[in-house]
Structure 1
Amino acid sequence: MDVPLPHLDRPFDYLVPAALDAEAQPGVRVKVRFAGQLVDGWLLERAESSEHPKLAYLEKVVSPVPVLSPEVARLARAVADRYAGSLADVLRLAVPPRHARAEKAVTAEAPSADAPAPSDAPAPDGSSAPDGSSAPAPSTDALAPADAAARAEVDPRGWRDYPAGPALLRALTDGRPARAVWSALPGEDWADRYADAVAATVAGGRGAVVVVADARDLDRLDAALTAVLGAGRHVRLTAADGPARRYRAFLAARRGDVAVVIGTRAAMFAPVDRLGLVAIWDDGDDLHAEPRAPYPHARDVLLTRAHLGDAAALVGGYARSAEAQLLVETSWAREVVADRAVVRARTPALAPTGDDPQLARDPGAASARLPSLAWTSARDALRADLPVLVQVPRRGYVPSVACADCRAPARCPHCAGPLALPSAQGTPACRWCGRVTAAYACPECGGRRLRASVTGARRTAEELGRAFPGVPVRTSGREEVLATVPGGAGLVIATPGAEPVADGGYGAVLLLDSWALLTRADLRAGEEALRRWMAAAALARPGPAGGRVVVVADGALAPVQALLRWDSAWFAARELAERRELGFPPAVRMASVTGTAEAVADLLAGARLPGDAEVLGPVPADEGRERMLVRVPRSRAAALADALHAAAGQRSARKAADPVRLQVDPLVLF
Structure 2
Amino acid sequence: MTQRRPEADPHPEAQPELVPGMVRATVRQAREEAAAKARATRARKAADAPISEVDPVARVLVDVALAHLDRTFDYAVPAAMADDAVPGARVKVRFAGHDADGFVLARGTETDHTGRLTPLRRVVSPEPVLTPAVAALVGDVAERYAGVRSDVLRLAVPPRHAATEKRPSPEPPSEPVPPPDPAGWDGYPQGPAFLRHLGEGHRPRAVWAAAPGDDWPALLAGAAAATLAGGRGAVLCVPDGKDVVRVDAALTAALGPGRHVALTAESGPAARYRDFLAVSRGAVRVVVGTRAAAFAPVADLGLVAIWDDGDDLFAEPRAPYPHTREVLLLRAEREGCAALVGGFARTVEAAGLLRTGWAREIAAPRERLRAAVTTAVAGATEHDLARDPHAHAARVPRQVHELLRAALADGPVLVQTPRAGYALALACDRCREPARCGTCAGPLAVTSPTTPPACRWCGTPASPWACPHCGGRGLRAPVLGEARTGEELGRALPGVRVRTSAGDHVAATVDATPQVVVATPGAEPVAEGGYAAVVLLDTHLLLGRDDLRATEEALRRWSNAVGLVRPGGRALAVGDPAHPALQALVRWDQPGHAEREAHERAAARLPPATRLATVTGEPGAVDDALVLLAPPADVDVLGPVALGDGEERVVLRTPRARGAALSHALGELQRLRASRKLDAVRVQVDPATV
The alignment's TM-score, normalised by the length of structure 1, stands at 0.89
Out of 83, 86, 107, the residue aligned to residue 148 of structure 2 is 86
Structure 1 residue 70 corresponds to structure 2 residue 139: no
Q: How does 1:550-561 map to 2 (within 5 A)?
A: 550-561=572-583
Structure 1 residue 101 corresponds to structure 2 residue 163: yes
The offset of 1:503, in angstroms, is 2.3
* In structure 2, C-alpha distance between the alignment counterparts of 1:442 and 1:250, rounded to whole Å: 60
- Structure 2 equivalent of residue 58 of structure 1: 120
* In structure 1, C-alpha distance between the alignment counterparts of 2:139 and 2:255, rounded to whole Å: 33
State the Cα deviation string for residues 158-183 of structure 1 (Å, max 9, x = none): 11110000000001001111000000
- Structure 2 equivalent of residue 331 of structure 1: 357
Change (3 A) 1:106 1:436: farther
The offset of 1:429, in angstroms, is 4.6
Structure 1 residue 499 corresponds to structure 2 residue 499: no
CA contact (8 A) 1:143 1:259 kept: no
1:216 partner SS: helix
Q: How does 1:207-226 map to 2 (within 5 A)?
A: 207-226=233-252
Matched pairs, number: 626
State the Cα deviation string for residues 263-307 of structure 1 (Å, max 9, x = none): 011201000000000001110110111111000111110011011
For 1:667, the aligned partner's letter is: A
1:542 partner SS: strand
2:186 partner SS: helix
- Structure 2 equivalent of residue 128 of structure 1: none
Query: Which stretch shows the higher mean deviation, 411-420 or 493-502?
Result: 411-420
- Structure 2 equivalent of residue 630 of structure 1: 652
The offset of 1:14, in angstroms, is 1.4
Query: Which stretch shows the higher mean deviation, 2-11 or 218-227?
Result: 2-11
The offset of 1:541, in angstroms, is 3.0
* In structure 2, C-alpha distance between the alignment counterparts of 1:213 and 1:364, rounded to whole Å: 41
- Structure 1 equivalent of residue 285 of structure 2: 259
The offset of 1:358, in angstroms, is 8.6
CA contact (8 A) 2:218 2:247 kept: yes
- Structure 2 equivalent of residue 117 of structure 1: none
For 1:540, the aligned partner's letter is: V
* In structure 2, C-alpha distance between the alignment counterparts of 1:264 and 1:289, rounded to whole Å: 11
Change (3 A) 1:570 1:107: closer
1:573 partner SS: helix
State the Cα deviation string for residues 560-611 of structure 1 (Å, max 9, x = none): 0110001100000011111111111111111011112221121122111112
CA contact (8 A) 1:306 1:313 kept: yes
Structure 1 residue 198 corresponds to structure 2 residue 224: yes
Structure 1 residue 452 corresponds to structure 2 residue 452: no
Out of 422, 429, 441, the residue aligned to residue 447 of structure 2 is 422
1:305 partner SS: helix
Structure 1 residue 663 corresponds to structure 2 residue 690: no
The offset of 1:411, in angstroms, is 5.0
The offset of 1:364, in angstroms, is 4.7
CA contact (8 A) 2:169 2:278 kept: no
- CA RMSD, aligned part only? 2.3
The one of the two structures with greater contact order (alpha-carbon pairs below 8 A, sep at least 6) is 1
1:27 partner SS: coil
CA contact (8 A) 2:635 2:652 kept: yes
State the Cα deviation string for residues 120-157 of structure 1 (Å, max 9, x = none): xxxxxxxxxxxxxxxxxxxx9679997xxx7xx43311
For 1:557, the aligned partner's letter is: H
Unaligned runs of 5+ in 1: 109-139
The offset of 1:359, in angstroms, is 7.3
For 1:529, the aligned partner's letter is: A
Query: Which stretch shows the higher mean deviation, 405-414 or 587-596?
Result: 405-414
Q: How does 1:613-628 map to 2 (within 5 A)?
A: 613-621=635-643, 623-628=645-650
Structure 1 residue 641 corresponds to structure 2 residue 666: no
* In structure 2, C-alpha distance between the alignment counterparts of 1:356 and 1:619, rounded to whole Å: 46
Out of 306, 311, 315, the residue aligned to residue 280 of structure 1 is 306
- Structure 2 equivalent of residue 36 of structure 1: 97
Query: Which stretch shows the higher mean deviation, 419-428 or 97-106?
Result: 419-428
The offset of 1:639, in angstroms, is 1.1
- Structure 1 equivalent of residue 187 of structure 2: 161
* In structure 2, C-alpha distance between the alignment counterparts of 1:359 and 1:650, rounded to whole Å: 67
1:44 partner SS: strand
- Structure 2 equivalent of residue 21 of structure 1: 82
Structure 1 residue 344 corresponds to structure 2 residue 405: no
* In structure 2, C-alpha distance between the alignment counterparts of 1:261 and 1:271, rounded to whole Å: 9
- Structure 2 equivalent of residue 125 of structure 1: none
* In structure 2, C-alpha distance between the alignment counterparts of 1:357 and 1:203, rounded to whole Å: 60
- Structure 2 equivalent of residue 398 of structure 1: 423
* In structure 1, C-alpha distance between the alignment counterparts of 2:471 and 2:100, rounded to whole Å: 61
Out of 597, 622, 637, the residue aligned to residue 575 of structure 1 is 597
CA contact (8 A) 2:191 2:362 kept: yes
Query: Which stretch shows the higher mean deviation, 640-649 or 80-89?
Result: 640-649
The offset of 1:514, in angstroms, is 0.5
Change (3 A) 1:32 1:512: same
The offset of 1:486, in angstroms, is 1.8
* In structure 1, C-alpha distance between the alignment counterparts of 2:327 and 2:91, rounded to whole Å: 26
Please tell me whether Structure 1 or Structure 2 has the larger radius of gyration of its CA atoms: 2
Change (3 A) 1:294 1:203: same
The offset of 1:415, in angstroms, is 7.2
Query: What percentage of residue pairs aligned between the two structures are identical?
Result: 56
For 1:563, the aligned partner's letter is: L
CA contact (8 A) 1:32 1:38 kept: yes
CA contact (8 A) 1:143 1:207 kept: no
Out of 544, 560, 563, the residue aligned to residue 538 of structure 1 is 563
For 1:562, the aligned partner's letter is: A
